[in-house]
Amino acid sequence: AQSVTQLGSHVSVSEGALVLLRCNYSSSVPPYLFWYVQYPNQGLQLLLKYTTGATLVKGINGFEAEFKKSETSFHLTKPSAHMSDAAEYFCAVSDQAGTALIFGKGTTLSVSS
């Protein structure tokens, strides 16, 4: 069975600082991996995804993530945080013949000035 663990339910950074949101997955088959962002009282927006190919994936809003098979990780990073990045972030996994996305419990990112 697949699963996702997001380390840290709440991460706080200063504006301009590095953002690092951690995600580890468990999957018996090569995974598809995703990061979604949710702003307050809104739906989910896809930030980026890894399916096959290049392990460093660039997404929207300056975010990127690197698939590391040996570490079973797919951490999300952004070099310089902006106030508008404050939101909840979800990591998700599915398999190639999967039935649905399996989500982590989410990480709330706070950005202070």
Partner 1 sequence: NAGVTQTPKFRVLKTGQSMTLLCAQDMNHEYMYWYRQDPGMGLRLIHYSVGEGTTAKGEVPDGYNVSRLKKQNFLLGLESAAPSQTSVYFCASAGVGRENGFFGPGTRLTVL
Measured from the CB atom, the residue of 12 and 42 that comes closer to partner 1 is 42
The encoded tokens of residue 74 equal 């797919």
Residue 111 burial (CB count, 10 A): 19
Q: Which is it for strands 73-78 and 64-68: parallel, antiparallel or unpaired? A: antiparallel
The encoded tokens of residue 10 equal 């709440």
Contact status: 46 vs partner 1 (CB under 8 A): yes
**Least gap, CB of 78 to partner 1 (angstroms):** 20
Contact status: 102 vs partner 1 (CB under 8 A): yes
* Chain residues that interact with partner 1, rule: CB under 8 A: 9, 32, 34, 36, 42-44, 46, 49, 51, 90, 94, 97-106
